[in-house]
Amino acid sequence: MNLKIPNFSDFPLSKNPSEIIDVRSENEFAEDHIPGAINLPVLDNEERKKVGTIYKQISAFEAKKLGASLIFNNISKQINQHFLNKDTCYSPLIYCWRGGQRSQSLAVILAQIGWQVTVLKGGYKTYRSYVCQQLKTLPLQFNYNILCGLTGTGKTYFLQGLKQQGYQVLDLEKIANHRGSLLGEEWKNDIKNQPSQKYFDSLLLQKFQQFDVNQPIWIESESYKIGNVYLPESLWKKMKQSPCFELQLPLEKRVEFLLQEYEHLTENPEILKNKLRYLKTYYGWNKISQWNSWIDNKSWKELVQDLLVIHYDPAYRRSLKKMSSKIIKTIQLSDLNLDYLLESLS
């Protein structure tokens, strides 16, 4: 019997595979992976740790024996659970950390079954190198229009409206899963869920590759850091040099809008109090106590207005100076009216 071997491919891929399979452990996959890939670990977190310990403490030979046993047991389960319904045209791409034993273990078996299987040369490390290289140059090829304005002027809201009207929009806060401020963390059941820096890079590159370089990209004025992730230096450089359209909205309208947007915080006052404690260094315990009193009394409008005037508005003005963008147009809004914005931009 002739042993069928998988094909090998560089990244970016020349053909679209039926499926991209990441065979690394769950933790490796969670940190970063090719967008759209599925995770079928041939060694899970605990198994990988166990094999690694034996490799270091006993010998490579003993580690390989255990690894082979675990890998083929896992592959057997995966064939029954995932591959039995695949037709003869199925052609997956498989990768592990370096394109070595883990990916080739699954790839060889699938190739023997009769599928056209491809292994990514160099594995995830090849992909990660590609992402880093692309993010150094690709953002520099685009032109940007920056939407800026004080907190609560609806910048993200208007970006979504522009996208619906066919404008190219890069929503960095959506990709970062963070609204870019002390209270901007997105959370469910108190669990932080920002992507890692590496996966943020992957998602950002995926978005850039969908854009038309001949059309400008609309983007919100952001800091170099959004929550725990950083923008690529190339993108930050272009943003600082790009024209800025400043939105202005009456203070009371901004307060109303923010109370709608941050309803999850008013419904969880203790979380809100804990977040505001981080501002003690800047404003002292007396101010923190006043904010806590408003929270206890559900005086939400007073709280939000004071936070805007005392903290957010001065911070915005400082950040705008760092951006060094030129405000080429100021758009005075009476409410969150997308039609008026579109008319002002035309």
Distance CA 195, CA 153 (A): 26
Closest to 306 (Cα-Cα) out of 281, 336, 286: 286
The answer to whether the CB of 266 falls within 8 A of the CB of 276 is no
| 93 pLDDT higher than 60 | yes
For a pLDDT cut of 70, what percent of the chain falls above it? 96
Whether pTM exceeds 0.75: yes
Residue whose pair of structure tokens reads 């959370």 in the numeric block = 187
| 309 pLDDT higher than 70 | yes
Q: Which domains, ranges and CATH numbers included, belong to the chain?
A: 7-132 (3.40.250.10), 142-345 (3.40.50)
**What's the pLDDT band for 263 if we cut at 50, 70, 90?**
confident
The answer to whether the CB of 186 falls within 8 A of the CB of 178 is yes
Distance CA 267, CA 211 (A): 38
Mean pLDDT, residues 169-197: 77
3-state secondary structure of 58: coil
| 191 pLDDT higher than 60 | no
| 2 pLDDT higher than 80 | no
Note the helical H segments in the chain. Answer: 26-31, 45-57, 60-78, 101-113, 123-137, 155-164, 172-176, 197-208, 233-240, 251-261, 263-266, 269-276, 280-296, 300-307, 313-323, 338-345
**What's the pLDDT band for 184 if we cut at 50, 70, 90?**
low
The answer to whether the CB of 176 falls within 8 A of the CB of 156 is no
| 312 pLDDT higher than 50 | yes
- Rounded to the nearest 10 degrees, the angle between the axes of helix 155-164 and helix 338-345 is 70
Q: Which of 89, 96, 132, 244 is catalytic?
A: 96
The answer to whether the CB of 105 falls within 8 A of the CB of 75 is yes
- Using CA of residue 162, residue 166, residue 170, residue 176, what is the dihedral sign? positive
Distance CA 42, CA 48 (A): 9
For a pLDDT cut of 90, what percent of the chain falls above it? 83
Closest to 21 (Cα-Cα) out of 36, 43, 1: 36
- Using CA of residue 113, residue 116, residue 121, residue 126, what is the dihedral sign? negative
Note the helical H segments in 190-299. Answer: 197-208, 233-240, 251-261, 263-266, 269-276, 280-296
**What's the pLDDT band for 190 if we cut at 50, 70, 90?**
very low
- Per-residue pLDDT at 325: 66
DSSP assignment string, 302-331: HHHHHHIIIIIHHHHHHHHHHHT--EEEEE
pLDDT, mean over the chain: 93
**What's the pLDDT band for 192 if we cut at 50, 70, 90?**
low
**What's the pLDDT band for 203 if we cut at 50, 70, 90?**
very high
Instruction: Measure the CA angle with vertex 296, ends 276 and 310; round to 5°.
Output: 40
Would you call 96 a catalytic residue per the annotation? yes
- 117-121, 221-225, 257-261, range with greatest mean pLDDT: 117-121
Lowest mean pLDDT: which of 38-47, 107-116, 147-156, 322-331? 322-331
pLDDT digits (tens, 9 = 90+) for 135-177: 999 999 999 999 999 999 999 999 999 999 999 999 999 999 9
Question: What value does the CA radius of gyration of the chain take, rounded to a whole number of Å?
Answer: 25
Q: Does 218 or 267 have the greater pLDDT score? A: 218
